[in-house]
């Protein structure tokens, strides 16, 4: 009992440490005195969720009231903005939103200051995949600070003179409240004195969004659970580690995440390519003294079960049978140390080892009742390697599902891939997505580094993350894949403070921050996913007005430059037009 | 003189190509890593012209087996005029022949002529090379080879010499490392001698059970196919049978490191730099070596229960024969290797106490959850409970055989006393460590037999590479550092390729004398 109490204490302590407050980098941006000339004291107003407010700028538009409309079961989003000419300790409180017969409790909303983080400043965006590969030093770019982190843990924000911060509110409209208007107040205080009472009205639509469990959107954001343990300095799979993971997993589940990112070998993305490699294995590979293999699924089982308990249960994507360096690490009982099996999928050694593994793994999965959910997942592997891999899988376990995030549509293997995610700038052949859907196969697109717009970089326009799901919808995709939602790449650098990274644009590998903090990017991605679900429902009801409103977005999706949005400044208006129709 | 540029060029090529292959002492071997069947030894200097002034032309003679004849010295002391050996059945008799010359002799080959003698190569493994069929019948089996120079720490070598060996005074003033003719190499022909150098040949003759009578033969040495030495000998078989040899006590036993063998062996056709321990080829390589060990009276089997029990040897750790895996639900031990090793050693003729090393040392294990190899230090509070869990599990695994297993506890571990109690509580014994080293090797043992601590290596690598004697005198460290403090760092008795050392041959002679 004593021991259990100790473990519990340690666990709470670690979880606490993980969520604790942090000091952001002192703002090094300079306020423009002219802009602040007429400003006095501290003011607050409703702003826009499309804007990352400059930490030193006076907001252009300042609204006194705000009305948000959403279906019941949908989360709606608001951003207020506070700016202070003299500086002050800013705090806020959100009242419950009261309707005639019911209440939307403030406690159900997630509200927090939007905090800036240091990022590289790019005068022109180029293909982000080449960052760091041209030998430019970390300090090759000027730095700036961009508002992205939503931090509910920060209750009082000491904001210096001539600075500005956002306050973000993500408000889930309960499914069981009656349609109608719900009114509340966002009170903003400076040095304990109320400086603004901002009325907020939420209009709950008569329609109800299906529960997230029933969303069709195939959302596959990769999760690196190891990065969470590393960041907190807790041992992998300790009680503290699980405690850290739980809120992230639950957040992802209710955001529509369908896939469990599982690893079945060490360093699926190779070793030595930055810390992208730091996915360890959830399956332990042991080579016995007699040369036979033994796999241990204990951690895999616990991880999958944990994710399922948190609500992510549709698919288990196992990386990888095709790691980027074709090296498989195993513990060799004969040497008492790790060894590397270097084998490409077309080699006899590979076939021998993986045939044995697949039999063993499949039997294990069947025993757990997970076989049907499991996909052997590969990332960006060329055709010949995929064909060799598929041959091995089909021979060993003919019905094993396969998943691929590929930068090329490969017709030769299309039918073999259950879950095929294609680089967003490529297309499936016309009609193929529909054929695949009829055959029970998933087709999605993914965004990584070559896309300039839309993307999910820390400095990307917030509307782009909403646009992603509109893009998926108009192209007929089943959903979206992105590496990664949690993978903090720099050892010893807190992503809450500094998002710069030598080989990627900031934010390439995470949308969620330490301490279960969300971001403008993640919240708006979820907004788009909700819209995708609403579009799916409404179009199935034959809403031609919406279909017509989507037409420009459809044209936009197939523009001449597939790495950007042709007229991205038109995007917000197009999206808000559709939203208006959906909430009519 | 005209040769010099060629040699310099060749050396330069070798150095660039193979400079990475260095001995424990940092000496570039200038050839492929871990040679097996043939190799070029480190260059020996010529003797001092003044002391060689009395020598003219090529000389040869039998020498004394008890004596070590340095390459640079004219053989001194009494040299037998003739060699008349006597041997019991089952005995192995040794003889040492000497060839010395004031000029360069190249392409030297040796052979033994005589009726009733059958060559027996000491093979690394019979499977490795085409050899004649297994010798049979009542003929005498012999093995003949050059005694090749190896770098020794002076004090470590002195400690292996008998107290009255005249070599003692000769080398006690030498630098702290020197080349000693020690490795008996029956694989390499075509050596060169001189100018002003002495080279020994070692002859070992085994007398089988059924042999009787007197055998006569000649040892012949040729240079470029011209006979330069032809020295006669005879052997009379005494009608008595030599009993099986035995080590005098358990502390007289010798450490056999199977991991050294797997690390060293890398036959080209096996395509790997090292053999994976416990693969088929590893066992093939070990068999003749273990049989040799058993034939000189060893019964005990050295085993390890965790990684690197001697903690001294970055390049040649004794691996673990027990697999330690920490899974989510506790410890999982696997004894597959331990069992196979003990079974195999028994097959090769060792059947005594299994001496387990490693308790009290840092414990390396697989942390399955983290998928990492971790080390549990003896000072950790979890260490003793972990060992207790292991000992109980091990005991259950051994069941009826537990009485044969004993533990060697390190004298310098803070937890040895606690472990001794745990060991006793489970009915195991504790025993002393091995008193000698059979085949636990440093890097490139054919060239350099020294176990050099890391602290010395840096100093050594600064020394001139390629000279005949590399000294670490200037490093201002104790000479004891070169003499070894654990069984694994004592001068080893058997070289790669199953080549015996002169020291091993003398040990056999003394055990035979004791048996007689």
Q: pLDDT tens digit string along B110-152?
A: 999 998 898 886 555 444 544 445 555 567 999 999 999 998 8
- The DSSP 8-state label assigned to residue B208 in this structure reads -
The answer to whether the Cβ–Cβ distance between B370 and A280 falls below 8 Å is yes
Q: Report the C-alpha gap between A241 and A264 in whole angstroms.
A: 19
User: In degrees, to the nearest 5, what angle opens at C-alpha A489 toward C-alphas A484 and A490?
Assistant: 160
pLDDT over 80 at B267, yes or no:
no
Q: What is the pLDDT of residue B313?
A: 55
Nearest to A298 among B340, B364, B368 (CB): B368
Give residues 252 to 291 of A whose Cβ lies within 8 Å of B.
Answer: 266, 280-281, 284, 286, 288-291
Regarding an ipTM greater than 0.85, the answer is no
User: Stretch B46-53: mean pLDDT, rounded?
Assistant: 92
| A224 in contact with B, Cβ within 8 Å | no
Tell me what the mean pLDDT of segment B92-121 comes to. Answer: 92
Residue B1, pLDDT score: 33
Search chain A and give the residue with CA nearest B364.
A336
| Sheet strand arrangement including A442-447 | A218-223, A479-486, A442-447, A419-423, A401-406, A374-379, A315-319, A259-263
User: Residue A247 pLDDT > 50, yes or no?
Assistant: yes
Q: Answer whether residue A568 shows pLDDT above 50.
A: yes
Minimal-distance CA residue of chain B relative to A280:
B371
- Look at A60-74, A279-293, B130-144, B361-375 and tell me which has the smallest mean pLDDT: B130-144
Q: Closest Cα partner for A314 from A200, A400, A212? A: A212
Contact A335 B319 (CB under 8 A): yes
The band of B77, judged by pLDDT with boundaries at 50, 70 and 90, is: confident
pLDDT, tens digit, for every residue of B417-440?
999 999 999 999 999 999 899 999
B337: closest CA of chain A, how far (Å): 6
Q: Residues of B near A (CB-CB distance < 8 A)?
A: 276-279, 307, 319-320, 323-325, 327-329, 334, 336-337, 340, 364, 366, 368-373
Nearest to A338 among B279, B340, B373 (CB): B373
Confidence band, pLDDT 50/70/90 cuts, at residue B474: very low
Give the total residue count for chain B. Answer: 516
pLDDT category at B480 given cuts 50, 70, 90 is: very low
Residue A267 has pLDDT above 80, yes or no: yes
Q: Which pairing describes strands B363-367 and B354-357: parallel, antiparallel, or unpaired?
A: unpaired
Instruction: Tell me which residue in A266, A289, A337 faces B278 most closely, judged by beta carbons.
Output: A289
* Closest in B329, B337, B366 to A331, CB measured: B366
Sort out which chain A residues have CB atoms less than 8 A from B274's CB and list them: none
Predicted pLDDT at B470: 45
Please compute the mean of the pLDDT values over residues A311-321 and round it to a whole number: 97
Contact assessment for residue B216 and residue B190, using Cβ atoms and an 8 Å cutoff: no
Q: Which of A44-58, A375-389, B123-137 has the lowest mean pLDDT?
A: B123-137
Q: Which residues does chain B have within 8 Å of residue A337's beta carbon, measured at their own beta carbons? A: 364, 373
Q: Identify the DSSP state of A380.
A: S
What average pLDDT does the structure give for chain B?
A: 84
Chain B interface includes A230 (CB < 8 A):
no
Which residues 6+ apart lie within 8 Å of B7 measured at CB? none
Return the pLDDT at B65: 94
Per-residue pLDDT, A290: 83
B278, B328, B373 member nearest A337 (Cβ): B373
The reported pLDDT for the residue numbered B452 is 72
| pLDDT (tens digit per residue) in A323-343 | 988 999 999 988 888 999 999
Which chain A residues are within 8 Å of B340, Cβ to Cβ?
Answer: 289
Residue A24: partners with Cβ closer than 8 Å, 6 or more residues away: A115, A116, A117, A496, A497
Q: Is the pLDDT of residue B502 over 80?
A: yes
pLDDT interval class at B35 (50, 70, 90):
confident
Weakest-pLDDT range from A207-221, B251-265, B491-505: B251-265
Choose the weakest-confidence range: A400-409, B14-23, B272-281: B14-23
Residues 6+ apart with CB under 8 A from A235: A229, A241, B369, B370
- d(C-alpha B417, C-alpha B423), whole Å: 10
Each residue's pLDDT tens digit, A125-165: 888 887 766 666 666 778 999 999 999 999 999 999 999 99
Q: Of A78-82, B174-178, B223-227, B443-447, which gets the smallest average pLDDT?
A: B174-178
Closest-CA distance, A290 to chain B, in angstroms, reads: 8
- Chain B residue closest in CA terms to A330: B371
Q: Which of B344, B371, B373, B374 to mutate to test the interface with A (most CBs of A within 10 A)?
A: B371
Q: Do B364 and A286 count as a contact with CB atoms less than 8 A apart?
A: no
* B320·A336 Cβ contact <8 A: yes
Least confident of A462-466, A486-490, A500-504: A500-504
The residue in chain B having the minimum alpha-carbon distance to the alpha carbon of residue A300 is: B369
Q: Which of B167, B254, B154, B173 is nearest to B481 (CA)?
A: B154
What is the rounded radius of gyration, in angstroms, for the C-alpha atoms of chain A? Answer: 25
Is A334 in Cβ contact with B277 (below 8 Å)?
yes
Q: What is the mean pLDDT of residues B391-404?
A: 94
How large is the average pLDDT for residues B174-196?
88
Is pLDDT at B271 greater than 60 in this prediction? Answer: no
Predicted local confidence at residue A52, as pLDDT? 97
Q: How far B328 CA sits from the closest chain A CA (Å)?
A: 7
Does A237 sit within 8 Å of B369, measured CB to CB? yes
Task: Please tell me the least confidently modeled range out of A40-54, A344-358, A373-387, B27-41.
Answer: B27-41
Instruction: Give residues 337 to 356 of A whose Cβ lies within 8 Å of B.
Output: 337-339
Sequential DSSP letters for B219-230 = EEEEETTEEEEE
Q: Do A235 and B369 touch (CB under 8 A)?
A: yes
Contact status of A335 with chain B (Cβ, < 8 Å): yes
The whole-number pLDDT of residue B19 equals 44
When the pLDDT of each residue in chain A is averaged and rounded to a whole number, the result is 93
Interface A:B, Cβ pairs < 8 A: 71
Q: What is the pLDDT of residue B413?
A: 79
What is the least distance, in Å, from the CA of B124 to any CA of chain A? 22
Query: Greater confidence, A9 or A545?
Result: A545
Tokens for B200, please give them: 């020994």
pLDDT number for residue B461: 53
Whether A541 has its CB under 8 Å from any CB of chain B: the answer is no
User: Closest residue of B to A267, CA-based?
Assistant: B371
- Single out the residue of B291, B282, B280, B284 nearest to residue B260, CA to CA: B282
């Amino acid at each position: 009992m004593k021991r259990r109490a100790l473990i519990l204490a340690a666990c709470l302590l670690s979880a606490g440490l993980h969520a604790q407050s942090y000091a952001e980098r002192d703002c090094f941006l300079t306020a423009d005195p002219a802009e602040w000339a007429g400003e006095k004291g501290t003011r607050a107003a409703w702003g826009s969720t499309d804007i990352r407010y400059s930490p030193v700028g006076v907001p252009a538009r300042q609204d006194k009231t705000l009305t948000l409309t959403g279906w019941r079961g949908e989360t709606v989003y608001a951003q207020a903005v506070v700016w202070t000419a003299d500086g002050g300790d800013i705090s806020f409180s959100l009242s419950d939103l009261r309707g005639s017969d019911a209440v939307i409790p403030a406690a159900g909303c997630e509200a927090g200051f939007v905090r800036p983080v240091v990022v590289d400043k790019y005068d022109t965006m180029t293909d982000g995949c080449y960052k760091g590969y041209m030998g430019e030093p970390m300090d090759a770019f000027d730095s700036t600070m961009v508002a992205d982190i939503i931090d509910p843990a920060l209750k009082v924000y000491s904001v210096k003179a001539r600075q500005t911060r956002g306050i973000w509110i993500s408000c889930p409209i309960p499914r069981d409240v009656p349609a109608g208007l719900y009114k509340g107040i966002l009170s903003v205080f400076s040095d304990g004195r109320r400086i603004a009472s901002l009325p907020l009205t939420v209009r709950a639509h008569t329609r109800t969004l299906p529960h997230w469990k029933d969303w069709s959107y195939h959302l596959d954001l990769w999760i690196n659970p190891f990065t969470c343990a590393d960041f907190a300095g807790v041992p992998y799979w300790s009680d503290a580690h699980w405690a850290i993971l739980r809120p992230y997993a639950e957040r992802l589940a209710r955001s529509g995440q369908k896939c469990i990112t599982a690893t079945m070998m060490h360093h699926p993305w190779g070793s030595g390519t930055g810390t992208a490699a730091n996915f360890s294995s959830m399956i332990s590979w042991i080579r016995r003294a007699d040369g036979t293999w033994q796999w241990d699924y204990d951690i895999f089982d616990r991880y999958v079960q944990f994710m399922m308990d948190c609500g992510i249960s549709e698919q288990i994507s196992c990386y990888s049978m095709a790691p980027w360096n074709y090296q498989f690490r195993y513990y060799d009982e004969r040497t008492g140390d790790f060894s590397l099996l270097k084998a490409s999928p077309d080699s006899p050694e590979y076939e021998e080892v993986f045939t044995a593994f697949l039999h063993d793994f499949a039997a294990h999965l069947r025993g757990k009742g997970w076989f049907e959910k499991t996909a052997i997942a590969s990332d960006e592997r060329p055709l010949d390697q995929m064909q060799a891999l598929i041959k091995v899988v089909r021979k060993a376990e003919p019905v094993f599902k396969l998943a691929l995030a590929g930068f090329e549509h490969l017709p030769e293997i299309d039918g073999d891939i259950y879950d095929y995610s294609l680089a967003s700038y490529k297309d499936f052949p016309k009609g193929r997505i529909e054929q695949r859907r009829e055959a029970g196969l998933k087709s999605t697109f993914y965004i990584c580094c070559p896309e300039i717009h839309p993307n999910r970089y820390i400095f990307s326009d917030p509307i782009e993350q909403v646009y992603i799901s509109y893009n998926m919808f108009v192209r007929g995709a089943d959903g979206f894949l992105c590496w990664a939602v949690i993978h903090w790449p720099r050892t010893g650098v807190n992503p809450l403070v500094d998002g710069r990274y030598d080989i990627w644009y900031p934010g390439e590998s995470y949308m969620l921050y330490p301490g279960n903090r969300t971001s403008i990017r993640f919240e708006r991605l979820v907004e788009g996913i909700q819209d995708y679900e609403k579009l799916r429902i409404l179009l199935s009801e034959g809403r031609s007005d919406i279909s017509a409103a989507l037409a420009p977005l459809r044209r936009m999706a197939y523009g001449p430059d597939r790495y950007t949005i042709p007229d991205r400044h038109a995007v917000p208006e197009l999206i808000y037009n559709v939203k208006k129709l959906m909430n009519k | 003189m005209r040769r010099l540029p060629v040699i310099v060029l060749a050396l330069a090529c070798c150095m660039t190509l193979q400079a990475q292959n260095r001995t424990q002492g940092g000496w570039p071997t200038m050839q492929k890593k871990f040679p097996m069947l043939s190799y070029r030894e480190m260059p020996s200097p010529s003797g001092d012209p003044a002391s060689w002034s009395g020598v003219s032309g090529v000389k040869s003679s039998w020498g004394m087996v008890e004596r070590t004849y340095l390459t640079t010295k004219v053989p001194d002391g009494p040299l037998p005029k003739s060699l008349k050996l006597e041997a019991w059945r089952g005995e192995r008799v040794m003889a040492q022949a000497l060839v010395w010359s004031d000029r360069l002799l190249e392409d030297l080959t040796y052979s033994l002529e005589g009726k009733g003698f059958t060559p027996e190569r000491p093979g690394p493994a019979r499977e490795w090379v085409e050899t004649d069929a297994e010798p049979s019948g009542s003929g005498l089996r012999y093995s003949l080879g050059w005694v090749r120079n190896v770098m020794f720490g002076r004090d470590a070598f002195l400690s292996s010499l008998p107290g009255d060996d005249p070599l003692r005074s000769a080398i006690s003033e030498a630098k702290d490392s020197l080349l000693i003719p020690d490795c008996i190499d029956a694989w390499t022909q075509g050596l060169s001698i001189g100018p002003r150098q002495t080279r020994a040949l070692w002859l070992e003759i085994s007398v089988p059970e059924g042999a009787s009578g007197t055998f006569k033969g000649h040892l012949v040495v040729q240079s470029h196919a011209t006979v330069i030495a032809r020295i006669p000998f005879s052997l009379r078989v005494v009608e008595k049978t030599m009993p099986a040899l035995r080590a005098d006590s358990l502390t007289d036993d010798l450490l056999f490191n199977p991991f050294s063998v797997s690390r060293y062996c890398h036959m080209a056709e096996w395509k790997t730099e090292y053999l994976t321990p416990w693969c088929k080829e590893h066992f093939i390589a070990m068999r003749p070596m273990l049989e040799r060990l058993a034939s000189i009276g060893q019964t005990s089997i050295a085993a390890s229960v965790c990684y690197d029990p001697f903690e001294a040897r970055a390049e040649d750790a004794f691996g673990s024969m027990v697999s330690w895996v920490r899974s989510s639900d506790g410890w999982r031990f696997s004894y597959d290797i331990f069992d196979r090793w003990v079974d195999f050693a028994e097959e090769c003729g060792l059947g005594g106490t299994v001496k387990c090393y490693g308790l009290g040392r840092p414990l390396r294990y697989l942390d399955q959850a983290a998928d990492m190899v971790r080390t549990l230090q003896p000072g950790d509070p979890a260490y003793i409970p972990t060992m207790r869990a292991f000992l109980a599990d091990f005991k259950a695994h051994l069941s009826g055989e537990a009485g044969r297993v004993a533990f060697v506890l390190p004298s310098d571990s803070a937890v040895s006393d606690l472990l001794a109690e745990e060991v006793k509580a489970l009915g195991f014994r504790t025993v002393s460590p091995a008193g000698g080293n059979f085949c636990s090797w440093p890097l490139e043992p054919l060239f350099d037999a020294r176990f050099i601590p890391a602290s010395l290596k840096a100093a050594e690598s600064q020394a001139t590479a390629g000279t005949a004697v590399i000294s670490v005198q200037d490093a201002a460290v104790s000479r004891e550092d070169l003499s070894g403090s654990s069984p694994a760092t004592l001068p080893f008795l058997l070289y790669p390729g199953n080549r015996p050392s002169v020291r091993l041959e003398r040990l056999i002679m003394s055990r035979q004398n004791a048996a007689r």
